Amino acid sequence: MKYTILMRPNYNVAYHDAYVKMCQVELKSLLTAYNFLESEPTIQGVNKATYMTFESEVTLNANMLKSICRLSFFYALFQIVDKDLFKPILIEYAPDFEEDLSIRLKYNGKTNEVITRMMMNLALYHSDFYDEPHLKLLDPLCGKGTTLFEAMINGYDAYGVEKDKKHVADLGTYITRYIKDARFKHTNQRGKLIHNRKTIGETFELQYAKDKDQYKSGDLRELKVLRADTTYFEGAFRHNSIHLIVTDLPYGVQHSGKEKGEKTIGLSGLLDQGLTSWDPYLKKGGAIAISWNIYTDTRESLIQIFEDHGYIVMKDLEMSKLEHRVSQAITRDIIIAYKG
């Protein structure tokens, strides 16, 4: 059987042509994970619309259809009955939140939420947990929470670490108001993270459910954000509990070490120290997706850091299609690494 996905219009990004090829990698990752890959997905333009076509010997099951809905570029799915006849496929799937959750909050340096969703999917389909019903995602450089909000839309538990006090305050204010306006049953609390009798951070925690019955049954989702240094937040979360780590490394800036007075470290140093801090929380079989500006560090140097920490980096030809020019000063690339 032949299927085609009508791609979401995304003409407002400077890297539209590169983005279409990136979507091809995303779909191929999904099909490979589910063993549905019969041939390479193909791209076809019809007037102003763009379609991504693939073949399968078997009918798509419910899990597969749900996963297709979560693709960053998904708009509608059709079965190709004849060359010029597309039969629409109704998919019964309702995300936990509307997509505006990750769109409403605007700020400088925000990564496009569509790219964030793609990174989540690339990490998911290169992990062992693509069929896990209750995923936990960590963004250890979460800013004001775009990745966390995308995780919440998908029904994941979302965990973040951010050093900037204002970023964490803005994130907490925004999501608290959103949850209230959406009439989700919820509780939230703030506190301090203490390790070895020393305060190393502050916490914002939110537990929520879509309705009272779900809340009473204990079927809750969780958002937890820690204001702390990403290179050290021991005790913040349970070890070996996180399925995916997805983060956007800063573009062309310096970052301080663990303590005041330490010399600043570059992006490579941040990733090296960060992996030491993040790794205990990531499950075996989990995956990490990072994006960064190639003008700050080379792909080879960052891959070496991952490998030095024992990760298996995806190096096939498909991964070379993820580089895309954002602006004159920023060309972004993505690395996917697996914890074996």
pLDDT (0 to 100) of residue 254: 41
pTM higher than 0.85, yes or no?
yes
Tens of pLDDT, residues 93-146: 888 899 999 999 988 878 889 999 999 999 999 999 999 989 999 999 999 999
Domains of the chain: 2-88 (3.30.70.1510), 99-338 (3.40.50.150)
pLDDT (0 to 100) of residue 84: 81
In this model, does residue 34 exceed pLDDT 80? yes
Give which of 303, 139, 134, 149 is closest to 233, Cα–Cα: 139
pLDDT (0 to 100) of residue 48: 82
Tens of pLDDT, residues 152-208: 999 999 999 999 999 999 999 999 999 999 999 999 999 998 888 888 889 999 999
pLDDT (0 to 100) of residue 253: 43
Please list the helix, strand and coil fractions of the chain in percent, rounded to the nearest 5, in that order: 30, 30, 40
In this model, does residue 18 exceed pLDDT 70? yes
In this model, does residue 258 exceed pLDDT 50? no
pLDDT (0 to 100) of residue 264: 62
pLDDT (0 to 100) of residue 10: 74
Mean pLDDT of the chain: 90
What percent of the chain is modeled with pLDDT above 90?
69
What percent of the chain is modeled with pLDDT above 70?
95
Nearest-angstrom CA–CA distance, 290 and 23: 17
pLDDT (0 to 100) of residue 261: 44
User: Where does the pLDDT of residue 14 fall: very low under 50, low under 70, confident under 90, or very high at 90 and above?
Assistant: low
In this model, does residue 65 exceed pLDDT 60? yes
Residue 112: DSSP 8-state = P
DSSP annotation string for 37-57: -SS--EEEEETTEEEEEEE-S
